Structure 1
């Protein structure tokens, strides 16, 4: 340690080290401890006499039931914490307890007591993961809540929802009373900015309506098991300020998009339930109209990632009707089945201002869509391409590379990686492919 540093940690008179942590104001210590799990806060109470009861004054609780050997001990600890400083505010209340050792009625009674207490104490951040416990209706009327994260709980049918400060909401495997309960919850959050929804197979929601004038980010994961009623699942999004959209569920039948003029980034991994033997039917006009409206709805996006299954549906649709133009799309990341790589140019034709393209191939041979050869247009705006899957020198892979090099007049850089086994073969073949752009660099990793 240098001389100045030594002076900072030792007193001038005695030379003893100064315990800066001990001398911090209690309010600042509590703020620091708020960012730790409660079990660590309690452990730290042995560090000094000043800290012995400090955990009681930290304005937050973060408990995992796995840290308790007995259910009743867990319940007792929560009750004891809430009994301290009953007039003070609570910043954070986080509980995780998946192994319900009490009966359902008892669990519901505990949760009702705790939620009533923290809502009255102006809780700002609520994070609950508790199998099948029912959340009391008072939660729908919290005036202080800023973030709400719920996992595996049950939300009752609300008569009224007013959550004027909630900006972040994560609903993971939550069960709702019906479609309207979820719709009211979302619309009742007047300043909601981020919504993540991971659905349960029994969440009681057939038509999911996300209507928000403030929402900036929406992430959707559909149920992870296959059920007959998924033929009717609908997701409807009306969010004029939305900037980020992620949709991931191949079994949801319909996605209805409204007012997404502000969309900047999108990740699309959906199949409109054309899976497990179900095929696109050109004669199904309502389905075609839904797909057309969906593509038009996201066509203003600037950055987009598309899964292979989504690209196939887009290709099937394009054989019936022309695709809308994605005029603002500048960066595209796309996956495709390598034996169907010719699907890719069809979509690229609808991206007249694309500058950067990242492609990743899937070697599995998925049947269903037949490819019709068509003239390939110039990729007149493309400047950067990255092939993320290591090339093994197969004919289909080299045809893709040839397409990109021969049809990109202003391409500046094509980056690819090679399989070690076939590196020399591919490097030699690359030298024989003509390049439309005289300034293009081919970078081999």
Structure 2
């Protein structure tokens, strides 16, 4: 017997858990020692593509699909009632939905802890797999991931998931989301990606939730958050029409990436059927940020900065904010930057990814784009000590901005400048690189701040 085969069953099963279930099943051909081990493997990874792609052209597709379903039936029958920790099911073909229901019911009855489902049974995309109610009735399930355009519907009293801590929903249609959340008393992490809401307004309410990630391209009309224990919040999506409730009083880290159609954001009156809706949405964004006012670390995308320029007068004071990171580009403006910096009275670290931005006559005094009497006023009241500039390209415009920061940030002690690594920059030209280095040396001499090009 070889050394591996002489290992204890528990260790061999652990090794098999790193393979797809089909690969693990093939190990039974090695020797008698491996023949029945699959019956005790607590991790099953079922993927119909493992069956389809290697064998395409050799057999008819219906025959391959039937072979796949029979394989899953045999595996589950082989395992009997043995405990199972994780069941991952990926079906992208016309598998019998009743068979899928049976597989899910089997592992739930055996006390599965982690259930990962990616199911697309209709190749035309017209019909969606309706998740069976049993998926929401388990005393052991800790993690549930649903993906693939699955239809999700439930009624009050039909959900029993007292141990569920992590829920991920991707590309699914959802009804009555509040009913689900109210039935998850232990939920700590919620991720929602491209969810199609079958309701105008959505209320995400959970007293236990600590981490919330949303990628929402199918924007609902109103969006509320009653999540007093939330620590981490990442929101990517179009601006909702309203944010009636935003309760995130213990929030520590937030990343806000608002999506927008640039021309409509800047000139909504040009789109007569859309102008009032745009104005209403952007004017209500302050409600979202009011709920974020206790955050310690905050990241804002270029689109978010552009949207905030429409509601500067309502910008809250971020009294706990220590670290602010913004990303900028030539298509988005900095009109909101002066107010933002003035409303961060305890800011210590400022990170700017990309100094170049869209210049307008309302650009503000945070930059050096336009000559003005109140030049640098918002910077002089900002207590930031560390400034990180990322994506530096070695242009004179950037150097002018850097000097502007050195002059007007009164508490600045350290400035770290990171060169752009993904695209060619001006610094590849020896003469430019030499000039930039000389200017950096001069900046260090003129300022008490330590400037480093990294």
- Normalised TM-score (structure 1): 0.82
Name which of 208, 229, 241 aligns with 2:202: 208
CA distance in 2, matches of 1:130, 1:394: 53
Aligned-pair CA distance for 1:390 = 1.8
1:164-191 CA distances to partner (integer Å, 9 max, x unpaired)? 0111111010122x2x1x2222221110
Contact 1:315–1:347 under 8 Å retained in 2: no
CA distance in 1, matches of 2:74, 2:359: 58
What does residue 326 of structure 1 align with?
318
CA distance in 2, matches of 1:288, 1:277: 11
What does residue 271 of structure 2 align with?
none
Query: After superposition, where does 1:30-429 map in structure 2 within 5 Å?
Result: 30-69=13-52, 70-98=64-92, 100-102=93-95, 107-131=96-120, 132-152=128-148, 153-159=150-156, 160-176=158-174, 178=175, 180=176, 182-200=177-195, 202-223=196-217, 230=219, 233-271=221-259, 275-279=262-266, 287=281, 290-318=284-312, 320-321=313-314, 323-338=315-330, 340-341=333-334, 343-361=336-354, 365=358, 370-373=362-365, 374=374, 375-378=377-380, 380-395=382-397, 397-417=398-418, 419-420=426-427, 421=429, 422-429=432-439
CA distance in 2, matches of 1:364, 1:436: 26
Matched, 1:22 2:5: yes
Contact 2:39–2:82 under 8 Å retained in 1: no
3-state SS of the aligned residue for 2:284? helix
Q: Which runs of 5+ in 1 are unaligned?
A: 1-17, 225-229
CA distance in 2, matches of 1:49, 1:164: 42
CA distance in 1, matches of 2:445, 2:379: 15
Aligned-pair CA distance for 1:364 = 7.2
Change (3 A) 1:203 1:67: farther
3-state SS of the aligned residue for 2:22? helix
Contact 2:329–2:357 under 8 Å retained in 1: yes
Contact 1:405–1:435 under 8 Å retained in 2: no
Contact 2:48–2:68 under 8 Å retained in 1: yes
What does residue 12 of structure 1 align with?
none
Aligned-pair CA distance for 1:30 = 2.3
Contact 2:222–2:242 under 8 Å retained in 1: yes
What does residue 7 of structure 1 align with?
none
1:209-230 CA distances to partner (integer Å, 9 max, x unpaired)? 2111111100000127xxxxx4
CA distance in 1, matches of 2:279, 2:392: 40
Q: Which moved more, 1:151-160 or 1:30-39?
A: 30-39
Change (3 A) 1:38 1:431: same
Contact 2:317–2:344 under 8 Å retained in 1: yes
Aligned-pair CA distance for 1:27 = 3.3
Aligned-pair CA distance for 1:49 = 2.1
Kindly tell me the number of residue pairs found equivalent between the two proteins: 407
Change (3 A) 1:173 1:276: farther
Q: Which moved more, 1:122-131 or 1:33-42?
A: 33-42
Q: Which moved more, 1:143-152 or 1:246-255?
A: 246-255
3-state SS of the aligned residue for 1:316? coil
Aligned-pair CA distance for 1:203 = 4.5
RMSD: 2.9
Contact 1:91–1:125 under 8 Å retained in 2: yes
Change (3 A) 1:125 1:20: same
CA distance in 1, matches of 2:295, 2:279: 26
- Normalised TM-score (structure 2): 0.81
